[in-house]
Every structure is written in structure tokens, then in C-alpha cells.
């Protein structure tokens, strides 16, 4: 037996948890287009409600695995320390995209059967991970060559050397991403013999729809069923947003559905995502735009809790990267979210992410240096994905990319002791820590808001956003290290002291030092 859970094993594991009475099964949030239930579970009965999802991208199976571990851990009350289950109610949707999960794990089962011993499976996963690395290495090499050649080209153009210009331009062409679906990436090679028949006949609707997609779009390379992020309609739930740039450009006629749209990421550079397929397609241009059931399921739950006034936070788990994404700052005008709300949520989010990140590590022997980074990116990043939209509408939406080892779906299982264990242990602890101290985190964000109030202008300037992230980062670091030093006994005193310090201005600090 190995650690990979195919769709039916995941279902059994969840049924078992419910049967043991440790967790409540609520009514399914939705049924997918091809009839799979989107299950919903809860624990606790408090008035602050937390939502936790895994496998929005079907192939990010590590995130479903993590959410199920979290459910198991928190349901053993003695282990829920730091989280008071009469204060909180936690909603779990371990597999938001069951169709994608089924497709991806059916493909995996072709090369890693259920009865494959753990060590052997681990080796296969490591091999897959190494192939990802080599695909990435090739991409990095091409990018570097491209940059060098562009410099040479500029020089040749300056010198007016026509022959040289031609020669360099030709070489530049060779460094561009390889978009030929016949040229399989290393990771695709490993699954090239797996086709739609891997999906059990029992799920005939899904099996048939995947067959149709692969037939209708022969430009989809072989060896991609395992990275099926999308649902069985070939629509990626995360990309399924009316604010997705590709969708708006197609609908406005600016982009032709027969054009090609590739991910910049060279690893996926031979997958055209303008039409349904494994990854990144937000809608089917032939069928028109609609919100997919996976997205309406989570959107409905968040909206319901928000209207009740009980939505505390949303932890959205994805597969790989070992990072947290900070929310966008630029809300669509029609949502009429005012600047104060925007800043309040941004600061809440950043502060809670700081607490979360504090307990993460990729390497247990070097926890400080291998913490997950919070990617703030461009401060005024626009809303493009479905989750971006949730992030501007609701408070504390924490997006975690779990595994330090890349290569969905099986890369994260390529080193059980060094990667799998670290990501499970550290994120379980990070979740408890972030929720346990979310009231402290809230005070930090409020104090920070006071500090920046006069800096808030009509326009969201990236400089200011960066500056504030810096200030908050320092404040959270300071407070969390004090909390660690003084322990939980005096946490309230320490917190009050910390808030006072954060609120004090330069002059006060100088006086104190004198």
C-alpha cells in the first residue's frame, strides 16, 4: 500500500471519519456536471466560521490529502489545542473538484497501482519530480540564452550588421518555448501511454467527456491526464471567473477562440489553454461563459456565511510551491468596495498569513530559513481568478501552496520523510497557530491600519503597499517571537505591550531609549 489515494479511496477515508462520529457530514454543496457530489463536513459549533478547501485543481491531490489529515487531527479534540471548538465552526471541503481528482488519480493508478509498496511508489514519484525539475531546467536555460541573444542583437543592430542580425534572430527563435504538442515534456513522457480508458467505466459521463475533449482538440499533447486541474468539462475552476483576462478578451471579440493561448511557464508550454483541456482554460468558447458547479459551490458557502456575519476566514489549499499568495489590491469597480474596506482586508490577510507562515517549514532541520514566503507580487494586482474575487469580497482568504517539492500530482510524494512529513506536520501546526492567534493577528492589522490611515490615498500605490507590508511583517515577527518567548500564559499582556509598541511613533521610541 502506498500513500496515493485514488478517488474511491478518498471517499472511503471520508466515510470512515464520519462513521467514527468524529466529524459531521453536511448536505453536499453541489453535484458536479457529471454527477459527483461535492462533500461538505464540519466540526465545532462556535460562531466564528472557517472554511477550508482542497483540490480546487483536481490534480493537486496533496491538498486533499492535507485537508483530510487536518480533519482527522482537529477532530481528535485533545489535538485541537489552540483552537477552541466552541468558539469556531470549521467547514471542510476536502475535494472541491472531484471530477478532476477522479481523472488525475485514475491516470496515476495506471503507473502506481493500489498495491504497489510504499518505497516503490515513492521512487516513481521521485522520478516524476526529477522530470519536472529537468523540464524547468530546460526552460531556465532557454530563457537565459534568449536574454543573452537579445543583448547581442541590440549590439548588432547598433553596428548595423545585417548578416549578424539575421543570424541572431534565427537563434532567438530556437530559444522560444517549444509549443509543439508532439514534443512531449519529460513529465509527459512518463504518462504518455495513459489514455481516457484509465477512467473506470462506472464514471461513464466523465470518461466520455474526456474522450470527446481529447478527440476534438488533437493539439492536446499525450501524457497529461495526471495533471488534469480542470473538471471533466475541461474547465479550470480557478480560471473560471468573469474577470479572467482571456475570457473577457474572447467575449469582447478582441481574441479569436481559434487563436492559441499558452502558459508562460515553459513546463506547460505545449498545452494550448484557450479551449477545454487539462489546465488553465476558464470557459468553453463553444458553450459560452457560465460559472461551473465547483465554483458556485464554494461561492455559495462563502456568501451564505458572509451574509450571516459569521465568516471568519477561508483557507484555500493548493498543491505545490511552498508559498502563500497575498490578495490582490485592485477590486473591480462594480463591487464598490471602498478603500477602507480594501485596506482592512488586505492588512487582515497579510497579518494572518504572517502568523501562518511562521510555523511552516520545508526542512525540519532548518525551519527558519525554509519558511514559506508570502508572495506579495505587485501590490495593486488585479482580480483575475475566481479566488481573487473571493479574496476581495471576504475577509482573511489565505491561499497556501503546500509542497516544497513540485510536480503535481505525485511529485510531493517523492520524498516521504523529507517533504511529505514536513509539509503535513508544519501546515497542521501553522493552521492551529494562525487560527489560535487570529485575535492577536487582528489587533496587529488594526494597529497597522491606524498607522497608515493618513497615507491612504484614492489611488493604491505599489510603493505604499510594499512599505506597509514591510511594517506589518516586522510587527508580526516581533509579536510572534515574543509570544514564543513568553509562552501562552502571558500572551495577552505580551500582545497589549506589542500593540502599544507598534502604535508608538518615532519620537516616543527615541525618548524611551534615552
The footprint of Zn ion (CB under 5 A) covers: 57, 60, 318
Q: 399 or 483, CB closer to Zn ion?
A: 399
Kindly tell me the burial class for residue 511, based on how many C-beta atoms sit within 10 Å of its own C-beta (0-12, 13-18, 19 or more). Answer: exposed
Nearest approach in angstroms of CB 57 to Zn ion is 4
Show the DSSP H helices in 198-292 as ranges: 204-216, 245-251
Nearest approach in angstroms of CB 315 to Zn ion is 14
Q: 111 or 402, CB closer to Zn ion?
A: 402
How far CA 435 is from CA of 48, 368, 414, in Å, comes to: 11, 21, 30
- Comparing CA positions, the residue from 65, 39, 49 lying closest to residue 409 is 65
Nearest approach in angstroms of CB 116 to Zn ion is 26
* CB contact set of 42 (below 8 Å; sequence gap of 6+): 23, 24, 26, 89, 90, 91, 92
Nearest approach in angstroms of CB 435 to Zn ion is 22
Q: 410 or 479, CB closer to Zn ion?
A: 410
Q: 387 or 441, CB closer to Zn ion?
A: 387
Contact, 248 vs 242, CB < 8 A? yes
Nearest approach in angstroms of CB 299 to Zn ion is 17
d(CA 362, CA 402): 9
Q: 404 or 498, CB closer to Zn ion?
A: 404
Kindly tell me the burial class for residue 205, based on how many C-beta atoms sit within 10 Å of its own C-beta (0-12, 13-18, 19 or more). Answer: middle
Q: 43 or 424, CB closer to Zn ion?
A: 424
Q: 129 or 433, CB closer to Zn ion?
A: 129
How far CA 466 is from CA of 247, 277, 395, 470, in Å, comes to: 30, 37, 20, 6
Nearest approach in angstroms of CB 60 to Zn ion is 5
447-456 long-range contacts, CB within 8 A, separation 24+: 447/475, 447/499, 447/502, 447/503, 448/347, 448/351, 448/472, 448/475, 448/502, 449/343, 449/344, 449/347, 450/503, 451/502, 451/503, 452/343, 456/339, 456/340, 456/343
Q: 237 or 395, CB closer to Zn ion?
A: 237
Phi, psi of 115 (to 5 degrees): -90, 10
Q: 403 or 480, CB closer to Zn ion?
A: 403
d(CA 496, CA 478): 13
Nearest approach in angstroms of CB 88 to Zn ion is 26
Q: How many CB atoms lie within 10 A of CB 167?
A: 15
Nearest approach in angstroms of CB 488 to Zn ion is 34
Q: 40 or 318, CB closer to Zn ion?
A: 318
Q: State the SS3 of 95-113.
A: CCCHHHHHHHHHHHHHHCC
Nearest approach in angstroms of CB 37 to Zn ion is 21
Nearest approach in angstroms of CB 318 to Zn ion is 3
- Comparing CA positions, the residue from 269, 439, 242, 233 lying closest to residue 351 is 439
What the block records as the C-alpha cell of 171 is: 537563434
**182 DSSP β-pair partners:** none
Amino acid at each position: 500500500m502506498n500513500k496515493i489515494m485514488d478517488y474511491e479511496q478518498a471517499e472511503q477515508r471520508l466515510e470512515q471519519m464520519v462513521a467514527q462520529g468524529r466529524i459531521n457530514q453536511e448536505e453536499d454543496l453541489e453535484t458536479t456536471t457529471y454527477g459527483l457530489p461535492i462533500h461538505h463536513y464540519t466540526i465545532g459549533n462556535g460562531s466564528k466560521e472557517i472554511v477550508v478547501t482542497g483540490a480546487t485543481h483536481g490534480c493537486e491531490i496533496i491538498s486533499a490529502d492535507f485537508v483530510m489529515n487536518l480533519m482527522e487531527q482537529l477532530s481528535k479534540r485533545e489535538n485541537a489545542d489552540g483552537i477552541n471548538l466552541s468558539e469556531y465552526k470549521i467547514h471542510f471541503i476536502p475535494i472541491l473538484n472531484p471530477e478532476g481528482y477522479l481523472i488525475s488519480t485514475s491516470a496515476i493508478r495506471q503507473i502506481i497501482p493500489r498495491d504497489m509498496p510504499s518505497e516503490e511508489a515513492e521512487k516513481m514519484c521521485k522520478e516524476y519530480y526529477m522530470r519536472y525539475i529537468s523540464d524547468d531546467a530546460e526552460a531556465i536555460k532557454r530563457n537565459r540564452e534568449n536574454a543573452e541573444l537579445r543583448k547581442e542583437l541590440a549590439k548588432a543592430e547598433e553596428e548595423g550588421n545585417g548578416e549578424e542580425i539575421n543570424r541572431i534572430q534565427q537563434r532567438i527563435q530556437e530559444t522560444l518555448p517549444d509549443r509543439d504538442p508532439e514534443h512531449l515534456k519529460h513529465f509527459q513522457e512518463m504518462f504518455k501511454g495513459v489514455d481516457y480508458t484509465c477512467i473506470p467505466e462506472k464514471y461513464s459521463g466523465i470518461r466520455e467527456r474526456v474522450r470527446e475533449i481529447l478527440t476534438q482538440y488533437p493539439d492536446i499533447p499525450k501524457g497529461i491526464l495526471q495533471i488534469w486541474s480542470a473538471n471533466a468539462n475541461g474547465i479550470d475552476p480557478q480560471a473560471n471567473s468573469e474577470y479572467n483576462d482571456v475570457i473577457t478578451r474572447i467575449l469582447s471579440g478582441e481574441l479569436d477562440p481559434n487563436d492559441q493561448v499558452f502558459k508562460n511557464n515553459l513546463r506547460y508550454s505545449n498545452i494550448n489553454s484557450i479551449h477545454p483541456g487539462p489546465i488553465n482554460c476558464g470557459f468553453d468558447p463553444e458553450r459560452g461563459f457560465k460559472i461551473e458547479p465547483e465554483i458556485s459551490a464554494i461561492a455559495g458557502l462563502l456568501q451564505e456565511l458572509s451574509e450571516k456575519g459569521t465568516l471568519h476566514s477561508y483557507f484555500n489549499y493548493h498543491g505545490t510551491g511552498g508559498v502563500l499568495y497575498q490578495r490582490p489590491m485592485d477590486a473591480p469597480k462594480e463591487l464598490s468596495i471602498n478603500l477602507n474596506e480594501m485596506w482592512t482586508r488586505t492588512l487582515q490577510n497579510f497579518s494572518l498569513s504572517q502568523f501562518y507562515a511562521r510555523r511552516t517549514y520545508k526542512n525540519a532541520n532548518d525551519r527558519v530559513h525554509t519558511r514559506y514566503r508570502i508572495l506579495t507580487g505587485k501590490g495593486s494586482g488585479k482580480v483575475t481568478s475566481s479566488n481573487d474575487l473571493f479574496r476581495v469580497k471576504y475577509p482573511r482568504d489565505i491561499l497556501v501552496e503546500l509542497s516544497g517539492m513540485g510536480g503535481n500530482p505525485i511529485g510531493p510524494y517523492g520524498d516521504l520523510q523529507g517533504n511529505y512529513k514536513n509539509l503535513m506536520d508544519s501546515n497542521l501546526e501553522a493552521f492551529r497557530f494562525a487560527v489560535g492567534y487570529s485575535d492577536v493577528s487582528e489587533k496587529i492589522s488594526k494597529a497597522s491600519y491606524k498607522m497608515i490611515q493618513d497615507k491612504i490615498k484614492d489611488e493604491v500605490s505599489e510603493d505604499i503597499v510594499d512599505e506597509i507590508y514591510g511594517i506589518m511583517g516586522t510587527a508580526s515577527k516581533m509579536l510572534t517571537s515574543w509570544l514564543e518567548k513568553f509562552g501562552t500564559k502571558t500572551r495577552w499582556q505580551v500582545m497589549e505591550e506589542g500593540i502599544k509598541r507598534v502604535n508608538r511613533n518615532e519620537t516616543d521610541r527615541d525618548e524611551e531609549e534615552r
